[in-house]
Amino acid sequence: MFLTSLTSAHDLDRAVVVGDDALSRAELVDRAGRFAAGIPGDGPVAVHATPSLDTVVAITGAILAGVPVVPVPPDSGPAERGHVLRDSGATAWAGDRPEGVDLPLVVPGRAPVAPREIDPERTAMLLYTSGTTGAPKGAQLSGRAIAAGLDGLFEVWDWTPDDTVAHGLPLFHVHGLILGVLGSLRLGSRVVHTIKPQPARYAAAEASMYFGVPTVWNRIVEDPESARALGKARLLVSGSAPLPASLFERIAGLTGQAPVERYGMTETMITLSARAAGERRAGWVGLPVPGAETRLLPAEDGAGADARVPDDGETVGKLQVRGSMLFGGYLNRPDANDECWAGDGWFRTGDLAVRDADGFHRIVGRESTDLIKSGGYRIGSGEIEAVLLDHPSVAEVAVVGLPDPDLGQKIVAFVVGDGGDGQVLIDHVASQLSWHKRPREVRFVDALPRNPMGKVQKKLLLGT
């Protein structure tokens, strides 16, 4: 059981705070133990993962019982929710039961049960990915993998039991749930969930560490008073999406410290991060965390098995990772497992990256949709999008490569904005990146095509 600090002699008043509700560590252990006593059989248990103490209790209780837990997004529709419940084989439900869910509810017992001795290789959590195609896949994370991923972050972020972590992120993803809650429970630090990631709530938390995604950080810098209050913290962490360089600078200017950027996936936990005591560079997600390895393979097809791209900070390669924090495969998806594993423990992330001579990594896009081959160059669209999003006239953008008789593919930017001058945006990119990375065309649109999870569907733009 990887939540070792929960059952230690050490207690902490208001160890877990969610909105206006709080539990000490002893109270959490008691409630989680009683929840564990009410779990019928060996699960899995599906948890309606609202931002609440009930969610924290249910997930903690399932972990103490050694039963796999399946966090279910509270805003998931009937089709998605039905797929998750069928695919996971969930045998019980915790939380408010939406219409159409007929699983028995977990009814907590009168007395808590002691934590079970569990095989650390057993699946502790099933997290469903929100892929751009097909039904969500269940990533199986073992207790050992979760522990390894968290322990690596304790080291690189200088995270100690004296810290208070604050965030308002969803409790059904790696970022908000595993890092933001289970990390504190494993280490023995305090966690404050603000329900919503609003600037004033972050400021009121008076934490030493804050977690957020770029959207959250953008809202915080738009509230300078709240942003300056976060200057008392020792670490501001951004992840889950690229952080524009201009936003990086605004955070640093208002809080007095540059944010820490990191990279990870549901399947891999966090494998790359800037260090608390090291360099923090806008747009770069740092070095491998302890226990993780990376390699960059040539982006072109047909390269030899031992081929690698140079560590020059420019050459794009296919990012692969391995380490003790990786998941154990997708549930019921042997086809997906065959596709994602490259042998010898290496996982194909599907992301494109560059790495410099110091080992720093920068993510430049997705292999399936973001690799553009133009004029003999291999270009990741993600870095172009990041530069365009820094321009005040751009609200949203998607960059793709469209067929071109001369270049092979030409870089085209689809922009949602104020309908300004496309040449201005082309010149803006050319002033920030290499000349060959500038868009050859800018098309202004009213909206970008997105799937139900909000991800841009670039394949629909390729046909325009």
The span from the CA of 150 to the CA of 262, in Å, is: 13
Is residue 261 within a helix (H) or strand (E), and if so which, with residue range?
strand 260-265
Query: Minimal CA–CA distance to 142: which of 327, 322, 17, 370?
Result: 327
pLDDT of residue 215: 85
- As a whole number of angstroms, the distance between CA 89 and CA 44 comes to 7
Q: Which of 173-182, 352-361, 426-435 has the lowest mean pLDDT?
A: 426-435
CA-CA distance, 161 to 452, in Å (whole number)? Answer: 39
pLDDT band, residue 301 (cuts 50/70/90): low
454: which residues sit within 8 A by CB, 6+ positions away?
Answer: none
Give me the residues paired with residue 105 across strands.
93
Instruction: Determine what percent of the chain is predicted with pLDDT higher than 70.
Output: 95
pLDDT at 42: 87
Gyration radius of the chain's alpha carbons:
22
CATH number of 1-368: 3.40.50.12780
Q: How many CA atoms lie within 13 A of 71 on its CB side?
A: 30
Q: What is the DSSP string of 327-342?
A: ---BTT-HHHHHHHEE
Q: What local confidence, expressed as pLDDT, does residue 452 receive?
A: 56
**pTM score, two decimals?**
0.85
Pairing of strands 235-238, 260-265: parallel
Give the whole-angstrom CA distance, residue 204 versus residue 230. 9
Q: Tens digits of per-residue pLDDT, 379-406?
A: 878 888 888 988 989 988 999 989 888 7
Instruction: Taking each helix axis as running N to C, give the angle between helix 214-221 and helix 245-255, from 0 to 180 degrees, rounded to the nearest 10.
Output: 50
Q: To 10 degrees, the CA torsion angle through 238, 240, 246, 248?
A: 10
Closest CA to 185 of 15, 13, 10, 1: 15
Angstrom CA distances, 284 to 259, 263, 295, 302, stand at 11, 9, 16, 28
* Type of residue numbered 88: S
Expressed in percent and rounded to 5, the helix, strand and coil fractions of the chain are: 30, 30, 40
- Identify the CATH assignment for 375-461 out of 3.30.300.30, 3.40.50.720, 3.30.70.3400, 3.40.50.620: 3.30.300.30
Instruction: Determine if the peptide bond prior to 51 is cis (ω within 30°).
Output: no
Comparing CA positions, the residue from 137, 135, 72, 88 lying closest to residue 340 is: 137
State yes or no: pLDDT of 223 exceeds 90.
yes
Mean pLDDT taken over the chain: 91
Q: State the Cα–Cα distance between residues 219 and 215, nearest whole angstrom.
A: 6
Could you give the residue range(s) of every CATH 3.40.50.12780 domain in the chain?
1-368
Convert the pLDDT of each residue in 196-213 to its tens digit.
999 999 999 999 999 999
Backbone angles phi, psi at 381, to 5 degrees: -70, -25
> What is the C-alpha separation between 165 and 150, in angstroms, rounded?
14
pLDDT for the residue 151: 97
Instruction: Tell me the pLDDT band of 130, cut-offs 50, 70 and 90.
Output: low
pLDDT classification of 4: cutoffs 50, 70, 90: low
**Residue whose C-alpha is closest to residue 272's, from 149, 109, 428, 173:** 149
Q: Which of 199, 248, 196 is nearest to 228 (CA)?
A: 199
- Lowest mean per-residue pLDDT among 56-60, 236-240, 446-450: 446-450
Q: Where in the chain is the domain with CATH 3.30.300.30?
A: 375-461
Residue 453: the pLDDT is: 53
